[in-house]
Amino acid sequence: MKCPHCQYAENRVLDTRIQKENEIRRRRECLKCKGRFSTIESVIVSYPHVIKKDGRREPFSKEKIHKGIQYACQKRPVSLAQIEHLVGKISKTVQNTLKREVPATFIGTLLMEELKNLDDVAYVRFASVYKTFKDIHEFVQSIDTQKEDPMAHGKNTDSLPPII
């Protein structure tokens, strides 16, 4: 780390503090000019590439996940904090796979499972786009399957209105 005052390369650390989850702030002093300056160190997170259905590969994007969840949760009683938590959870799961590439279906399935636990309407909205149903009958059949197995995601649907 070069001193911003005299460009001398050697300095000593006076103080170290943790700023955020992955950031460290260090107060430094140049050994030549005695000038003081601060640096911030952060961890560089590397995510795997996503293999799309058509075989294309693209970098993992937290923003795309966030946008998809936001669209699904539009006009629903889901807070921004819940959405951020969900994005973080999905991102961490993808990062922890320790693979260089993951299929898009893996991420889509994770998202659907999390949305199923968060909000039923958001789940149906996301699933209707993600699964690309051919017609209304296929969509209804998918919902009926979900209705038949309500305990698959720990919910009691006795009080829910029937899906038409």
Q: Kindly report the three-state secondary structure assignment for every residue of 4-55.
A: CCCCCCCEEEEEEEECCCCEEEEEEEECCCCCEEEEEEECCCCCCEEECCCC
Question: Along the 164 residues of the chain, how does pLDDT read in single tens digits?
Answer: 899 999 999 999 999 998 877 789 999 999 999 999 999 998 887 889 999 989 999 999 999 999 999 998 888 898 999 999 999 999 999 988 888 999 998 998 899 889 888 888 888 888 877 777 666 777 777 666 665 654 444 444 444 444 44
Residue 50's Cβ-count burial label (10 Å; 0-12, 13-18, 19+) is buried
Cα dihedral 32, 34, 35, 40 in deg (nearest 10): 80
Tell me the domain boundaries of the chain: 11-42, 49-153
pTM score over 0.85: no
CA 48 – CA 60 distance, rounded (Å)? 6
